[in-house]
Structure 1
Amino acid sequence: MCTSVRNKKVATKHQVIDVLKKLFCDLLRCFIVQLHALLDFFIDFFCGLYYDKKAKRVPPVKNDLLLDSAVTLAEKIRSRKVTAEEVVCAFIERCKEVNGLINAIVEETYSNAIEEAKNVDKLLNSEANPEELKKTKPFLGVPFTTKESNEVKGLLHSMGLISRRNHRSENDATVVAYLKEAGGILLGKTNVPELNLWCESRNNVYGQTNNPYNTTRTVGGSSGGDGAIVAACGAPFSICSDIGGSVRMPAFFNGVFGYKPTEGITPLKGVGLRSEDYPNSMAEVGPICKKAEDLLPFLRVLVGPNITKLKLDTPVNLKDLNIFYQEGSGDIRASKVNSSMRAALIRAVRHFERLTGSASKIKIPGSEYSYRLWRYWMSQENINFKSNITNMQGNTSAKAELFKLLKCQSELTLAAILKLVDEDILPKENSEWAKTVTANMKKYLLEKLGDNGVLFYPSSPFSAVYHYSTYLRPFNFGYWCLFNVLRLPVCQVPMGLDENGLPVGLQVVAAPYNDHLCLAVARELENAFGGWVPPS
């Protein structure tokens, strides 16, 4: 009897200790979150003192053609309501009008584009069958851009490196060739960070790209030039790539649609420095566009023969979908999701809750480790950063580049040097831990989503930040890279503007090969909330 009482007292004591430990951890977590929020306030306050008086936005659109979707433009060209030359010239004039402000286009192909447009018009004035052309060349005569890191025959392919500033491609990337075969007309290549590895599109070859809604704000990376020029109506759509949010981040910051498909669906040859396809990669090629109706037909083009792996023609009954949502990653190193971003997420959730009858709040186990997990899986990619950053002229190191930086002799940006510091100095992630956490996360989420579920997830803690301020809050990147780690299809959906006139939005996630669910939800959200809002 005494032993039983003593055991009960010991158990109670342990329970009290556990409760106190949990209370202490919760209080500490709360303190860190509030401290981080205070830091964010001061970052924005002091950046605002420097930047706000310099803020500009792109001028209003004068030609209504620039507001059309790529699908609409293609139909107008096929039916001869407008000529391809007229369309191409309208977008070229817009590029010339806005590029001095946003620095998105870094190499233009305007003369060639006009000649190609004239050839399209000659074809349509012959006995060509418009319905047949709709099948074989769905984007005939429609202009597009692609990021500088995607190879285009005869054009610069510096990747933002001074050591490659004069390098020109001998062939098109496979996806660029696909869109050309589908009738697309290239207007030019757009800005990227060095080797595509930073959250801002800035390098020492082309300089910095600015946000069309506010030129003092970031456009994201690495497809930042594409996001900016599409949002500014300089192109209807762009071919981008995404290994850690490089489609969705710029799409979010610039208020347009961006899509990362299911893993292994799009060919990677000619994307970045890849000379062949790498099916086992976190990277995918995806579209950026202003209108949701362009996503599906554009994706059909980009995936090529892999179209058979997807269910793009399967009808989606939105009322039958299972809706899940998560309000934050849980990473205390990341900024707190602000009220505008949370409101955008909840608007989408409530809309689908009315459609489907329910929406379940979840917490993906391990989402608080998003950045750490991506960091580990990047080390498993077929990428040699130390060699690539020298244009394959040997390996450099953090020590060497920091020494050059102190002597003002480094050709690299600070972002690239920090990547070297990460590789050379910071401790590596534990392989078994990373694999286990990733597997558990994916198992949990796939069981939830099944073949008929979608997840609504924040795009970022807040809208486009001031230039350079990303250096002070790098872990916000985790909101995008999580789904590269999980290799799931994700659509970035614009949801209007916040109180500062900057875009807000959310990510829509589905299980592998259920890309059609993401696209159907994106179209519905656009119909309900308006989608892209012109920056002027």
Structure 2
Amino acid sequence: MCTSIKSEESLQCKDILQLIKKLCCDILRYIIIQIHFYFDCIVDFVFGIYYDSKAKKVPAVKNDLLLESAISLAEKIRTKKVTSEEIVRTYIERCKEVNSLINAVVEDRYSDAIKEAKAVDAMIEKCKDLEKMKITLPFLGVPFTTKESNCAKGLIHSMGLLCRRNHRSEEDATTVRLLKEAGGILIAKTNIPELNLWIESRNNLYGQTNNPYNITRTVGGSSGGEGAIVAACGAPFSICSDIGGSTRMPAFFNGLFGHKPSEGLTPVAGIGLRENDYPDTMVAAGPLCKKAEDLAPFLKVLIGPNVHRLKLDKPVNVKNLKVFYQESSGDLRASKINSTMQATLIKVVQHFRELTGSATKIKIPGSEYSYKLWRYWMTRENVNFKLNITDRKYITSAKREIFNLLTGNSQLTLAAIIKLIDEDFLPQENDEWARKVTAKAKQFLEEKLGDNGVLFYPSAPFPASYHYSTYLRPFNFGYWCLFNVLRFPVCQVPLGLDKEGLPVGIQVVAAPYNDHLCFAVAKELEATFGGWVPPS
């Protein structure tokens, strides 16, 4: 009996110790979060002193054609309500009007685009089967842009590197070709960070791209030029790519719809320095647009023969969806979700709770390691950063580039040098740990979502921050890259502007190959809360 009492006392002591340990961890976690919060406040205050007097936004739109969706423009062209030439000229003029402020367009093909538009108008005059044209050429005569890193025949493909400043593409990237074959007219290419690997769009060749809502703020990366020019109404839609948020991040910062498709659907040949397609990759091409109705028809074009793998035409009753949400990643290194972003998530969850009858709060196991997991899986990509950054002439190193920087001979930005330091000096993630955590997170989310569930996930801790301030909070990037790691489809949905006039939004996630659920929710949120708002 004495032994039994001692055993019970021992268990009670262990329980008390566990409770004390948990309490101490919670207190420490709270302290770290608060310190990080005040650090962010100081960063914004200091950067604001320098930048706030320089704030500007792009001028107001004068032609309503610039506000329309791509499929609406295509319909007007087909039915001869307006010519392709008029639309192309209108967008070109808008590009010229805003680019001095936002520095998004780095090379144009305006003259050739106008010639192609005239040819489209001539074709339509002779066409006798407009319904067939609608199916085979869904974007006939509609202008588009693409990021500088996507190959476009005859145009610069520098990847933002000084050592590639004169390199021109001999062929189109497959996705660019597919959109051209669908009738789209390429009018320009836009700015990126070096090799697409930074969370701002800045390089030593083209300079820095500015946010059309406030030119002192970031546009994100790597499709930042695309986000800026589409939001500023210089293009109705564009082709982006996403290996760690490169479509969704600019979509969020610039108030647009941006979609990263399920894995293995979009061809990657011609994206970046990839010469061939390969299925095992986190990268995916995807649509960036102002209107939700463009998402599905645009994705159909980009995935080409893989369209049968999705259910893009399947009707979705959003009232029957299972709804889940997560309030934060849980990563202590990331900034605290601010009150505006909290309110944005809450209003979306509340709306769908009223629609569906329920909304369940969850926590993806391992989401607090989002950046670490992405960093591990990047080492499994068919990419050699230290070779590519020299245009494949030699393998460089952090020591070499730091020396070049200190002696005034560096051709790289600080972002690229930080990437080299990360690869050369910081320890790599454990292979077994990374694979185990990834598998657990993926299984958890697949089981939760099934074929009829969506997850609402924060886009970022706060809207577009000041230029260069991202150097002081790089781990916020984890909010986007997690879903590249998991290979789930995810759509960035705009939800208006905050009190400073900056875009806010939410990420909508579905299980693999249920992209149509993301689009249905995007349309519902657009109809309810307004979606994209013009910068002016």
> What is the SS of the residue equivalent to 2:16?
helix
**Over residues 52-72 of structure 1, what are the superposed CA-to-partner deviations in whole Å (9 max), with x where a residue is unaligned?**
000110000000000010010
Residue in structure 1 matched with residue 297 of structure 2 by the alignment: 297
Match of 1:366 in 2: 366
- Secondary structure at the counterpart of residue 152 of structure 2: coil
Return the offset for 1:6. 1.5
User: Cα deviations across residues 387-445 of structure 1 (Å, max 9, x unaligned)?
Assistant: 00000001000000011111111100001001000110000000000000000000001
3-state secondary structure, aligned to 1:313 = coil
Aligned to 2:285: 285
**Which residue of 2 is the match for residue 9 of structure 1?**
9
* 1:485 to partner: Cα distance: 0.3
Q: Partner of 1:485 in structure 2?
A: 485
AA aligned to 2:118 is K
User: Aligned residue for 1:40?
Assistant: 40
Distance 1:268 1:15 in 2: 54
User: Stretches of 4+ moved more than 2 A in 1?
Assistant: none
Following superposition, the deviation at residue 15 of structure 1 comes to 1.4
The reply on whether 1:21 has 2:25 as its aligned counterpart is no
Q: Describe how 1:28-427 pairs up with structure 2 within 5 A.
A: 28-427=28-427
Q: In the alignment, which residue of structure 2 is the partner of 1:532?
A: 532
CA deviation after TM superposition for structure 1 residue 278, in Å: 1.6
Counterpart of 2:98, as a letter, is: V
Q: TM-score, normalised by structure 2?
A: 1.00
Counterparts of 1:168 and 1:16, CA distance in 2: 68
The alignment status of 1:476 with 2:476, answered yes or no, reads yes
3-state secondary structure, aligned to 2:294:
helix
**Counterpart residue identity of residue 236, structure 1:** P
Distance (whole Å) between structure 1 residues aligned to residue 229 and residue 342 of structure 2: 27
Provide the rounded CA distance (Å) in 2 between the counterparts of 1:126 and 1:18.
79
Matched residues, number: 536
Give the letter for the 1:483 counterpart. Answer: F
**Cα distance between partner residues in 2 of 1:127 and 1:364:** 53
CA distance in structure 2 between the partners assigned to 1:324 and 1:296 by the alignment: 23
What SS does the corresponding residue of 1:144 show, helix, strand or coil? strand
Once residues 513 and 18 of structure 1 are traced to their aligned partners in structure 2, the CA distance between those partners, rounded to angstroms, is 42
Q: For structure 1, which runs of at least 5 residues remain unmatched after alignment?
A: none
CA–CA distance in 2 between the matches of 1:301 and 1:529?
28
Q: Supply the distance in 1 between the matched residues of 2:354 and 2:12 (Cα, whole angstroms).
A: 46
* Partner AA of 1:380 in structure 2: R
Displacement after TM superposition at 1:125 (Å):
1.2
Residue 127 of structure 1 and its aligned partner are, at CA, apart by: 3.4
Alignment partners' CA distance in 2, 1:97 and 1:353: 43
Identity %: 70
Task: For residue 12 of structure 1, report the CA deviation from its aligned partner.
Answer: 1.5
Q: Secondary structure at the match of 1:170?
A: coil
Distance (Å, rounded) in 2 between the aligned partners of 1:127 and 1:52: 54
Q: State the AA in 2 paired with 1:412.
A: L
Name the amino acid aligned to 1:170: E
The letter of the residue matching 1:527 is A
Give the distance between the partners of 2:128 and 2:530, measured in 1 at CA: 37
CA RMSD of superposed structures (Å)? 0.6
Task: Using the TM superposition, name which of 123-132 and 93-102 deviates more.
Answer: 123-132
Match of 1:444 in 2: 444
Secondary structure class of the residue paired with 2:241: strand
TM-score, L = length of structure 1: 1.00
Q: Aligned-pair distance for 1:344? A: 0.9
User: Partner letter of residue 495 of structure 1?
Assistant: L
Take 1:505 and 1:128, find their aligned partners in 2: how far apart are those partners? Answer: 43
Give the partner amino acid of 1:512: P
Counterpart-to-counterpart distance in 2, 1:152 and 1:395? 27
Partners of 1:88 and 1:127 lie apart in 2 by 20
Can you list the C-alpha shifts for 1:3-38, whole angstroms capped at 9, x where unaligned? 112222222111111111111110000000000000
Provide the rounded CA distance (Å) in 2 between the counterparts of 1:120 and 1:11: 80
Q: In structure 2, how many angstroms separate the alpha carbons of the residues matched to 1:357 and 1:18?
A: 37
Amino acid at match of 1:409: N
Q: What does residue 503 of structure 2 align with? A: 503
Show the counterpart of 1:517: 517
1:6 counterpart letter in structure 2: K
Distance in 2, Cα, partners of 1:255 & 1:322: 26
Which one-letter code corresponds to 1:144 in the other structure?
F
Partner Cα distance (1:317, 1:30) in 2: 41
Distance (whole Å) between structure 2 residues aligned to residue 496 and residue 127 of structure 1: 41
User: Letter of the aligned partner of 1:253 in structure 2?
Assistant: F
How far did residue 347 of structure 1 move? 1.0
